[in-house]
Chain A
Amino acid sequence: MLEFKNVTKRFGSGVKPAVNNLNLTINKGDFVVFIGPSGCGKTTTMKMINRLIDTTEGSIIVDGKDVTQQDPVQLRRSIGYVIQQIGLIPHMTVGENIVLVGSLLKWSKEKKEKRAKELIKLVNLPEDYLNRYPHELSGGQQQRIGVLRALAADPPLILMDEPFGALDPITRDSLQEEFKKLQKEMDKTIIFVTHDMDEAIKLADKIVLMNGGEIVQASTPEEMLRNPINEFVEDFIGKDRLLQSRPEVTTVEQIMNPNPVTINMESTLKEAIQKMREMRVDSLLVIDQEQKLQGFIDIEMVDSNYRKYTYVHEVMDTEEYAVQKDSLLRDTMHKMLRRGKSYVSVVDESYHLAGIVTRATLADMVYDTIWGDGMEAAIATPE
C-alpha cells in the first residue's frame, strides 16, 4: 500500500537531514501512528507522502506508483488530509467544506449534496448543519467535519497531523473512539502523527517511533510495551505506562520468584517436614534429579501418610498445575484466581522447574502499579 524506500529529506545542503534514509512498509488497512519528540521528522515524513514537502532522495510508493512522478495536485486530491488546527474554510458552509475535494474534482451538484448527506450521518450530526458556517460549530464538531472532508472522495489513504491535539480531553476521547470505529468499518489506511503516547497506544495497529530523522522502533503497541528496543523507547513510553501495562504484556518469568522451596522426590517424608518447618511453608514442590517438576506435597499429605510411607514420591500429588515461563502474567493471574490456588509453579519448555508465582508476588505487582510511582514522586518533590 505505502512504501518508503531510502527516503531522505534535507532542508538546505550540509545540514543534518530531517529524515534520514527511512525505510518502511505499511499494509493496506493499517492504522499507523508516527510518534516522537519535536523535530524528530515525523511530520516531515508524513508531508512527503502527499508532497507538501518534496523528498531529497529516495522514493515513496503509494499503491505501486512513486509519488514523486505524479502531479502533486492530483495526488493530493487522492489522499485525505486532516490537521490539528482543522482549517475549515470560513466563508464556505459546512456542506461545501465537506465536499471540497469533490468540487475540485468537478462533481455534479447532486453528487456533492448526496455525498455530504451520507458523510454527515457518519458522525451523528443533523443534516441541517450542512448549511451552517464552520464558526457556528464547536471545536469537536468542526474536527468531525475536518475528518469528513478527508473522507469525501473516498481516498484509500488518509494523513492526519495531530488531528485531536487541540481538543479538550473528553471530546478528544470520544473522537478517537468514533474515528477508530470508522476506520475499521471503512478499511482505510491511516498515517497518524502525534506526540501523545496514550493516543498512539489506543489507536495504532503499528507505532513508528522516530528520533533524529530515523526510525527507532516500528512495531505493534503491545510489542513496543513488552520489548522496548532501547532506553530511548523506554523513556519515551514512560515508566508509569510500562508499569501499568505490566499485567498486559509481562510474562510470568519477569515477576516469578526464581527460588521456590523444593524437595527431591527421593527424599523421605521426615526430611520434607523438616524443610517445611525450616522454611516456614506448608507445601513443597517436588523435583527429580534433573530439576524436573514432578508434583507437590503439603503438610496434610505428610500428616496423613507418614505412618504408611517413607518417601516423598510415594505420597506426592502429581496433578501439579504449571505454566510456561513465557506465558502472559495476565492469563496466569486469571487462572490462579479461578482455580482458587494460592500459587502456580513455573516451568521451562522441558518441564524443568524455573520458579513460582504466589499471591504474594501478585500483591507486590499491584502495589507497584498503584503506589510505585506515587512513592517516587513523593520522594522527588522536596528537591
Chain B
Amino acid sequence: MGVGEQLVTYVTQNGYYIWEEFYRHFLMAAYGVLFASIVAIPIGILISRYGRLSKWVLSFGSIIQTIPALGFMALLMVTLGLGTTTVITTLFFYSLLPIIQNTYVGMKSVDQTVIEAAHASGMTRFQLLRKVELPLAVSVIMAGIRTALVVGIGIVAIGTFVGAGGLGAIIVRGTNATDGTAIILAGAVPTALMAIIADLIMGMIERRLNPANKASAASQ
C-alpha cells in the first residue's frame, strides 16, 4: 500500500477521532489568543498613551518570544501540571507580543489631526477611544491577532508533549509507529489547513474592518 492509500484508510477509519483532535486543537489555539487579546489590547492602548512604558513592555514581550515553545511549556508544566491549561497559558504568553505591538502601532498610526478635530468638537476621552481611535486602529489590531493565531496553531501542535492532545497527538503517534508516514500526514495536513484557513478568514475580517476600504454605495 502506498502512503496515499494508507492515508485514505487511516482517515476513513479514524475520521471522527481526527475531527475531535482538530476541534480540540483549534479551541486551545483560539482560547490562548482570546485571553491574550483581552490582556494585550488594553496594554497596547495604555502604552500608546504613556510612551515611556512602551519600551519596557515591548522588550518583555520580545524576551518571551525568544524562549523555545517546548521549553516554555515544560517550565509551565512544573507549576500547572499536564493538560490543556499549560498549552493555553503558553500560547497566551506567546500571543502577547504580536497583539500588544500591533495595538500600539495601530493606536499610534491614527491621524493626530482627526483626533484633534474630534477632541476639539467636544468628545470625552472615552468617546474618542471608542468612536475614533479604536475603529481606526482595529484593522491593525486584527492583523496582530491573526499573526498570533497562525503562530499559535503551530505551537499547540507541540502541546501533545504535555498531554494536551490535539492534532499533535496524531503526529507523535505516527512518528512512533513503524511506517507511520500516513499517520503523520493525517495530523500534519489538518494542522496546516487550519493555519491557512484561519489566516484567510482573519485576513478577510481585517480587510472588512479597515476604514480605508469604506466607500459609499454610490461609488462602488
Q: Could you list which residues of chain A lie within 8 angstroms of chain B, going by C-beta atoms?
A: 50, 52, 73-78, 81, 83, 85-91, 93, 100-101, 104, 128, 131-133, 135-136, 146, 149, 159
Q: Are B118 and A87 in contact (CB under 8 A)?
A: yes
What A residues does B124 contact at CB under 8 A? 73
| Minimum distance in angstroms from B126 CB to a CB of chain A | 11
Which residues in B have their C-beta under 8 angstroms from that of A159? 120
Contacts of B216 in A (CB 8 A): 93, 131-133, 136
Q: Does B156 contact A (CB under 8 A)?
A: no
Residue contact A89 to B118, C-beta cutoff 8 Å: yes
**Cβ-closest chain A residue relative to B124:** A73
- In the bound complex, residues from chain B placing their C-beta under 8 Å from that of A76 are 119-122
Beta-carbon contacts under 8 Å, B98-149 to A: 111, 113-124, 127, 131-132, 135-136
Using A73-B124, A86-B113 as known contacts, say yes or no to A52 and B214 having CB atoms under 8 A apart.
no
A128–B132 alpha-carbon span in the complex (Å): 24
Chain B residues positioned under 8 Å from A86 (CB to CB):
113, 117
Task: Specify the chain A residue showing the minimal Cβ separation from B123.
Answer: A104
For B135, give its contact among A81, A87, A91, A135 (CB under 8 Å): A91
B62 to chain A, nearest CB (A): 32
Within 8 Å CB of B219, what residues of A? 132, 136
Given the complex of chains A and B, what is the CA–CA distance between A74 and B60 in angstroms? 41
B116–A91 contact, CB under 8 A? no
Q: A86-B113, A90-B114 are in contact. Are A104 and B218 (CB under 8 A)?
A: no
- Identify the interface centre among B111, B122, B219: most chain A CB within 10 Å of its CB: B122
**Nearest chain B CB to A144 CB, angstrom units:** 15
B113 contact from A74, A77, A85, Cβ within 8 A: A85
Give bound CA distance, A182 to B110, whole Å.
Answer: 32
Within the complex, what minimum Cβ distance (angstroms) separates A158 from chain B? 11
A131-B218, A133-B215 are known contacts. Are A101 and B114 too (CB-CB below 8 A)? no
Beyond known contacts A81-B120, A91-B211, A104-B123: 19 more, CB 8 A cutoff: A52-B119, A73-B124, A74-B122, A76-B120, A85-B111, A87-B114, A87-B118, A89-B131, A90-B111, A90-B114, A90-B136, A90-B212, A104-B127, A133-B214, A133-B215, A136-B216, A136-B219, A146-B117, A149-B121
Collect the chain A residues with CB atoms within 8 Å of residue B211's CB: 90-91
From 156 to 183 in chain B, residues with beta carbon under 8 angstroms from any chain A beta carbon are: none
Let me know if B214 and A77 touch, CB within 8 A: no
- Other-chain residue from B117, B122, B135, B218 in contact with A73 (beta carbon distance below 8 A): B122
Residues of B within 8 A of A93 (CB): 216
Q: Is B78 an interface residue (CB 8 A)?
A: no
Q: Are A104 and B121 in contact (CB under 8 A)?
A: yes
Q: Tell yes or no: B63 within 8 A of A by CB.
A: no
Q: How far is the CB of B130 from chain A (nearest CB, A)?
A: 12
A76–B120 Cα gap in the complex (Å)? 6
Known A-B contacts A77-B122, A101-B122; A88 and B114 likewise in contact (beta carbons under 8 Å): yes
Q: How far is the CA of A149 from the CA of B219 in the complex (A)?
A: 23
Least CB distance from A380 to B in Å reads 39
